[in-house]
Amino acid sequence: MAMVEAVIVLPILLMLFFAIVEFGIAFGRMQVLSNAAREGARRAVVFRDPGTCNAGTVTAEVDAAVVNYASSMGMTVTPGNVVVTGACAAGPATVTVTYANAFLFIHKFAPSVTSSVNLVGTSTMRNE
């Protein structure tokens, strides 16, 4: 009788275990994106004079800061995944980073679950 119960319960427990691992990984990556966006926003606003600031240069610096932070945490983010608004403006600067997180296991157990989800990290800072 115990063997029958184990055969019934084990797949459910394995699916639950892998779901917890997958969402834990996704949550960690979400934190990395949030931190990378904050690093980029900080780079966009520190010591910027709106009168002499070059938005293209600032955007390139922000892209580099975000890509470097994400890569140091093992994530591949390209400058095309980074959106900078308000660079060289008198108001706040906003940096948004998007990352396509691919699930490793969960969609194999539950085919109705999508195999990837877009994670977004956003940070807004006022110009100093």
Can you point out the beta strands (E) in 1-128? 82-85, 93-102, 116-125
Q: Position 59: which residue type?
A: T
Q: Kindly state the DSSP code that residue 105 receives in the 8-state scheme.
A: S
Distances from the Cα of 27 to the Cαs of 67, 79, 117, 122, in angstroms? 19, 22, 12, 15
Residue 47 has pLDDT above 80, yes or no: no
Kindly report which listed range (15-19, 69-73, 77-81, 103-107) carries the lowest average pLDDT score: 103-107
Mean pLDDT of 107-118: 80
pLDDT at 54: 87
- Written as one letter, the residue type at 126 is R
Q: What's the whole-number average pLDDT of the chain?
A: 89
The C-alpha angle with vertex 30 and arms to 39 and 82, in degrees rounded to 5, equals 50
pLDDT at 71: 94
Q: Round to whole Å and give the CA distance between 25 and 23.
A: 5
Total domains in the chain come to 1
Query: For residue 65, what are the domain limits?
Result: 2-125
Model confidence at 7, pLDDT cuts 50, 70, 90, reads confident
Mean per-residue pLDDT, 24-28: 93
Look up the pTM and report it: 0.84
User: What is the predicted pLDDT for the residue at 11?
Assistant: 87
